[in-house]
């Protein structure tokens, strides 16, 4: 406060060391200021562009200069306490274009209290956070732990052997992962640590083969669905188990959190784009004045690109994304569905589908995968399990698929590898 930092203003801070950022978030919260975590090592020009887009007043430099003004930081941001941005997170957004999401304190508390109640997070819980704090999946864990008084073990990014040792050595009860992280942990072998009660898996679709591997090794998997704009999850399953028909259905992502509304058709009809409303939603996308409401529809609804439906018992099913649909030979093809089917092939551990242009068919699919099955064998398998338009025309096998620092697949890098390979 002595340097001029005022309630309602925002500080940009690097996400590593994670402990430093955690203490910064808690300190800023006590005075009613907000925080914009960014990936450590971000190019200074890009960092400045993000600051200008969101009207950020301050930069925290923990190594040398401390708190540095970026704009005219002598003026208090003219917004009501209810509209103050507590947390800003950069995201690709439902449109695929980079956006900065603004969350208020009320929304963060609403999310944390509902998730804690759903997952049984208490002061006795120990949550290991190996997700980057510049992503909503990681940042949301801080607010849940703080609200419950739970113990928190922080990691600067994900390293499978280190995470595995910590899970076993410190009685961890809760952990959040994206599917590639879960796969890396399973590759280490062995049974799940006995202390684990909840392993939340979200961020992208979990394939049935990977889910089956995890359950066979005793991992207490719970699927979750949400996004940056919803403050992390809005739906979660109980402990994952086979449906009455005897098979796992990993497209069912669970029941909605209390007070969260979703407009979607019933599952006996075709899936449609979801509309979401509730107290956990963002204030809006950032702008230099940090006005709320940008990106929200009338009535406070938000429409992501995800396609889904609701079952008779009001569970949410996610069927992919509207922007994952490609027209091939006059047929609508879901890249999500193709990836899910290819993932079922024996000897395939990871897969992503890349759609490139084709002058005759409109698009040409390439399956980029890791596993023991060679390209010819996988091509033959796909011919018998996919329709003609859905069948990849090229295959690129890698030792492992590249990941972003969020733990998700690096789709831009994967697409570049396809292009450079000539597939």
pLDDT score at 94? 41
pLDDT score at 95? 43
Round to the nearest angstrom and report the end-to-end CA distance of the chain. 57
pLDDT (average), residues 162-178 = 95
Is residue 411 one of the residues assigned to a domain? yes
Strand-pairing partners, residue 90, are 100
Asked if 292 and 356 sit in the same domain, the reply is: no
Range of lowest pLDDT (130-139, 201-210, 238-247, 255-264): 238-247
Q: How far apart are CA 300 and CA 107, in angstroms?
A: 13
Show the tokens assigned to 262. Answer: 């979703």
pLDDT (average), residues 149-158 = 94
Last residue of a domain, one of 280, 302, 321: 321
98: left (phi over 0), alpha (psi -120 to 50) or beta: beta
378 and 395 Cβ atoms separated by less than 8 Å? yes
Is residue 29 one of the residues assigned to a domain? no
Q: How confident is the model at residue 212 (pLDDT cuts 50, 70, 90)?
A: very high
CATH of the domain at 338: 3.30.300.30
pLDDT score at 41? 87
Indicate the SS3 state at residue 117.
helix
Asked if 179 and 244 sit in the same domain, the reply is: yes
Q: How far apart are CA 124 and CA 119, in angstroms?
A: 13
Environment class of 137 (CB within 10 Å of its CB; exposed 0-12, middle 13-18, buried 19+): buried
Asked if 134 and 281 sit in the same domain, the reply is: yes
Return the CA Rg of the chain.
22
Q: How far apart are CA 68 and CA 60, in angstroms?
A: 6
Q: How far apart are CA 408 and CA 181, in angstroms?
A: 8
pLDDT tens digits, residue range 346-362?
999 999 999 999 888 89
Q: How confident is the model at residue 324 (pLDDT cuts 50, 70, 90)?
A: confident
Asked if 336 and 301 sit in the same domain, the reply is: no
CATH of the domain at 161: 3.40.50.12780
Question: b/e map of 328-354 (b: 16 or more CB within 10 Å)?
Answer: beeeebbbbbbbbbbbebeebbbbbbb
Q: How far apart are CA 419 and CA 413, in angstroms?
A: 10
Is residue 63 one of the residues assigned to a domain? no
Last residue of a domain, one of 270, 296, 321: 321
Is residue 95 one of the residues assigned to a domain? no
408 and 178 Cβ atoms separated by less than 8 Å? yes
Looking at the structure of the chain, the number of domains it has is 2
76 pLDDT above the threshold of 80:
no
Q: Domain limits at 382?
A: 329-421
Can you tell me which residue has the tokens 């058709």?
Answer: 265
Q: How far apart are CA 86 and CA 10, in angstroms?
A: 8
Asked if 225 and 348 sit in the same domain, the reply is: no
332 pLDDT above the threshold of 80:
yes
DSSP 266: B
Can you tell me which residue has the tokens 């669970």?
Answer: 254
Is residue 55 one of the residues assigned to a domain? no
E strand spans, 94-218: 99-103, 126-129, 151-154, 174-177, 198-201
* Cβ atoms < 10 Å from Cβ of 46: 13
Q: How far apart are CA 285 and CA 269, in angstroms?
A: 32
Residue 219: C-alpha distances to residues 196, 198, 241 (Å) = 8, 8, 11
Asked if 261 and 308 sit in the same domain, the reply is: yes
Is residue 84 one of the residues assigned to a domain? no
Last residue of a domain, one of 271, 299, 321: 321
Asked if 195 and 248 sit in the same domain, the reply is: yes
Asked if 213 and 347 sit in the same domain, the reply is: no
Asked if 229 and 354 sit in the same domain, the reply is: no
pLDDT score at 415? 92
Asked if 289 and 356 sit in the same domain, the reply is: no
Is residue 213 one of the residues assigned to a domain? yes
E strand spans, 106-251: 126-129, 151-154, 174-177, 198-201, 221-227, 232-236
Percent of the chain clearing pLDDT 90 (strictly above): 74
pLDDT tens digits, residue range 225-235?
999 999 999 99
Asked if 241 and 375 sit in the same domain, the reply is: no
List phi, psi (to 5°) of 339: -60, -40
Helix and strand numbers, DSSP H then E, in the chain = 10, 24
Is residue 75 one of the residues assigned to a domain? no
Work out whether strand 394-397 and strand 325-328 pair parallel, antiparallel, or are unpaired: unpaired
Residue whose C-alpha is closest to residue 11's, from 61, 49, 64? 61
Show the tokens assigned to 52. Answer: 């200008």
Residue 137: C-alpha distances to residues 64, 132, 396 (Å) = 29, 8, 30
Show the tokens assigned to 354. Answer: 């890349």
303 and 323 Cβ atoms separated by less than 8 Å? no
Asked if 334 and 312 sit in the same domain, the reply is: no
Q: How far apart are CA 390 and CA 384, in angstroms?
A: 11
* Cβ atoms < 10 Å from Cβ of 174: 26
């Amino acid at each position: 406060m002595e340097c001029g930092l005022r309630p309602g203003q925002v500080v940009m801070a690097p996400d590593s060391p994670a402990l430093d950022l955690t203490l910064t978030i808690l300190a800023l919260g006590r005075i009613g200021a907000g925080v914009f975590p960014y990936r450590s090592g971000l190019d200074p020009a890009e960092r400045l562009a993000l600051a200008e887009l969101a009207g950020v007043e301050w930069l925290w430099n923990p190594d040398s200069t401390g708190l540095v003004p970026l704009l005219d930081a002598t003026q208090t941001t003219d917004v009501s306490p209810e509209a103050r941005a507590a947390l800003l997170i950069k995201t690709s957004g439902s449109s695929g274009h980079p956006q900065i999401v603004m969350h208020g304190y009320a929304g963060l508390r609403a999310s944390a209290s509902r998730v804690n109640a759903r997952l049984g997070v208490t002061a006795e819980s120990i949550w290991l956070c190996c997700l980057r704090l510049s992503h909503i999946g990681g940042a949301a864990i801080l607010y849940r732990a703080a609200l419950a008084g739970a113990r928190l073990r922080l990691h600067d990014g994900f390293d499978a052997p280190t995470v595995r040792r910590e899970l076993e050595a410190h009685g961890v009860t809760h952990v959040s992962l994206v599917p590639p992280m879960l796969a890396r942990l399973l590759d280490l072998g062995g049974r799940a640590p006995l202390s684990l009660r909840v392993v939340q898996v979200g961020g992208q679709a979990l394939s049935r083969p990977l889910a089956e591997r995890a359950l066979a090794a005793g991992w207490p998997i719970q699927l979750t669905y949400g996004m940056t704009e919803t403050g992390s999850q809005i739906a979660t399953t109980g402990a994952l188990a086979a449906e009455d028909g005897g098979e796992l259905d990993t497209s069912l992502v669970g029941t909605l959190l209390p007070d969260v509304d979703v407009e979607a058709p019933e599952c006996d009809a075709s899936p449609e784009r979801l509309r979401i409303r509730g107290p956990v939603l963002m204030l809006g996308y950032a702008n230099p004045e940090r006005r709320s409401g940008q990106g929200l529809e009338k009535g406070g609804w938000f429409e992501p690109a995800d396609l889904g439906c609701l079952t008779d018992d009001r569970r949410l099913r996610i069927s992919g994304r509207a922007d994952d649909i490609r027209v091939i030979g006059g047929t609508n093809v879901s890249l999500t569905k193709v990836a899910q089917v290819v993932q079922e092939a024996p000897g395939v551990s990871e897969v992503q589908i890349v759609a490139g242009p084709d002058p005759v068919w409109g698009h040409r699919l390439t399956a980029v995968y890791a596993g023991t099955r060679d390209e010819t064998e996988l091509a033959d398998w796909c011919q018998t399990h996919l329709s003609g338009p859905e069948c990849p025309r090229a295959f690129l096998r890698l030792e492992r698929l590249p990941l972003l620092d969020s733990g998700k697949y690096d789709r831009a890098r994967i697409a570049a590898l396809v292009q450079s390979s000539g597939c």
